[in-house]
Amino acid sequence: MPFSNQEYLHLLPFIIIGVGIVFSVVIELITKKSREILPWFSILLFFSTALYSIYTIHNKYILFNGMIQVGGKAAIFNFIFNFAALLITMSSIGYLKKYGSNFGEYYILIQSAVLGMMVMAGSKDILMIFLGLELMSICFYVLAGLNRKKHSANEASLKYFLLGAFATGFVVYGIALIYGVTATTKIDILIQNFSAQSSNIIFVTGLILFIIGFSFKIAAFPFHMWVPDVYQGSATTVTGIMSTAGKAAAFSVLIITLTAVYTVNSPNIFSPYFAAIATLSMLFGSIVALTQDNLKRMLAYSSISHAGYMAIGLTASNSYSISGIIFYLAAYTFMNIGAFSIISIIEGENDSRTNIQNITGLNASKPMLAAFMSLFMFALAGIPPLAGFFGKYYVFIGAIKSGFTWLAIIGVFSSVISVYFYLRVVVFMYFKNPTEDINTDTSTFSYSAVIISGAMVLLLGLMPDLLLNLILSVVNW
């Protein structure tokens, strides 16, 4: 066999999760108490993988004949995915009982989705990107329709499934054309030959189809139609991981395939495309979110506009703006998961109480929740000195460095619009009298997820250099 034991050792983050999935299936099979054991087992898995990834960030290897890479950017993405899954698992413990589908399999599917994301972020071969994408998506299709008795969940999973599979068709056809021109699927070889091939019309068509497929996954404007319905109809915790880690995984693919191309100094032929979807997503998301009363739907539109801000980084595509995207994704993960955890605490049975009117006067009954919700809303709006501000700041600076000042100005303009609907939530919580009793479930774990996210938002806001310098040191690998 050509592979040494050393290579398997470097693959440890993937092996932890993979073996964990198999063990979880066994636990689910042999004991009836699986739903009490599996959350803790998952938390252990995610925690150890996140820690190990960030600890070995400077051990950069390409393994198994150029199939997969560990360390560098992939390690940071692994950290984001696992941390997100950790927080979501914490807030799921109390939420799933209320939602009426407290299954052990839920945790196995979350683990599988995380494995898929890690494969996407670490892939060095288009085949791995495709398989990771499908592993993640299939888990999300099922998670979206977890409670098959709810009409909203059925509808969300059907819409997500049909549009997701449609996008997969484009990705596969694009890959077929790319392979046809270059006779390889190895990303490194594709990048080396990029300048020579960039005038080949079939190659460019293939890349465009590939990028269109991924534009569906990052929820950018012309390909956003599934986002609001799926985010509103799915269980709140599932939406939390779909909108953060799922988006981060799709962005990681765009980053590893496209930005490496820019480093070989060829003209950035995709800038106009990304500039267009960035502008449209930012403005569309911010403007439509103004009219939404449902909190989950509002956050869905805000997710579209955040995809727009991140796409600015892809347009500029210098190493600074790419670091900005990764920082933004980390910050967005914590703010959004915090917000969705709070919604999952407030939410009643049968999807009730997710409207903005339901949190009227939250400050009177639950001052701590109200304080954290305002923290996340301020962070999402990009008010300094919170994590969201620095995410936008780095991306905009990167855009200005590449001469896209107009795009940065549109970004600032759109952020100003978005302040209105984020602050509206704060106004409802603090300056209106409560109309109904807000009895929340008192699961300590959900609260700890909220507190950890809040702490991370503050930490990234007060000491952004901590993470940014780490990202800058590995971004070109």
Q: Among residue numbers 124 through 183, which ones bind another protein (CB under 8 A)? A: 125, 127-128, 130-132, 134-135, 138-139, 141-142, 145-146, 148-149, 151-152, 154-155, 157-158, 161-162, 165-166, 168-169, 172-173, 175-177, 179-183
Can residue 21 be called a binding residue for another protein (CB under 8 A)? Answer: yes
Q: Which one, 70 or 261, has the nearer CB to another protein? A: 70
Can residue 108 be called a binding residue for another protein (CB under 8 A)? Answer: yes
Q: Which one, 196 or 409, has the nearer CB to another protein? A: 196
Can residue 33 be called a binding residue for another protein (CB under 8 A)? Answer: no
CB of 213 to another protein, least distance (A): 11
Taking the CA atoms of the chain, what radius of gyration do you get in angstroms? 21
CB of 149 to another protein, least distance (A): 7
CB of 74 to another protein, least distance (A): 14
CB of 61 to another protein, least distance (A): 13
Selected range binding another protein among 50-58, 65-73, 327-335, 455-463, rule: CB under 8 A: 65-73
* CA distances in angstroms from 470 to 55, 70, 246, 288, listed in the order given: 12, 16, 22, 36
Q: Which amino acid is at 29?
A: L
Selected range binding another protein among 48-56, 57-65, 369-377, 382-390, rule: CB under 8 A: 57-65
User: What residues does 70 pair with on adjacent strands?
Assistant: 61
Taking residues 446 to 475 in sequence order and writing x for each that binds another protein by CB under 8 A, - otherwise, the string is: ------------------------------
Number of C-beta neighbours around residue 263 at 10 A: 14
Write out the binding residues for another protein, residues 201-230 only, by CB under 8 A: 201-202, 205, 225, 228-229
CB of 1 to another protein, least distance (A): 8
Q: Which one, 202 or 264, has the nearer CB to another protein? A: 202
Q: Which one, 63 or 330, has the nearer CB to another protein? A: 63
CB of 18 to another protein, least distance (A): 7
Q: Which one, 129 or 335, has the nearer CB to another protein? A: 129
Can residue 25 be called a binding residue for another protein (CB under 8 A)? Answer: yes
Write out the binding residues for another protein, residues 230-249 only, by CB under 8 A: 232-233
Among 48, 56, 185, 319, binds another protein (CB under 8 A): 185
CB of 30 to another protein, least distance (A): 16
CB of 418 to another protein, least distance (A): 22
Interface size with another protein, residues (CB under 8 A): 71
Q: Which residue has the tokens 């917000």?
A: 339
Can residue 355 be called a binding residue for another protein (CB under 8 A)? Answer: no
Selected range binding another protein among 195-203, 239-247, 433-441, 445-453, rule: CB under 8 A: 195-203
Number of C-beta neighbours around residue 320 at 10 A: 20
Can residue 300 be called a binding residue for another protein (CB under 8 A)? Answer: no
CB of 428 to another protein, least distance (A): 23
Q: Which one, 56 or 193, has the nearer CB to another protein? A: 193
CA dihedral angle for residue 42, residue 47, residue 48, residue 53, rounded to 10 degrees: 120
247's tokens: 């988006």
| Closest of 378, 460, 457 to residue 422, by C-alpha | 378
CB of 377 to another protein, least distance (A): 24
CB of 176 to another protein, least distance (A): 4
Can residue 42 be called a binding residue for another protein (CB under 8 A)? Answer: no
Among 48, 192, 198, 200, binds another protein (CB under 8 A): 200
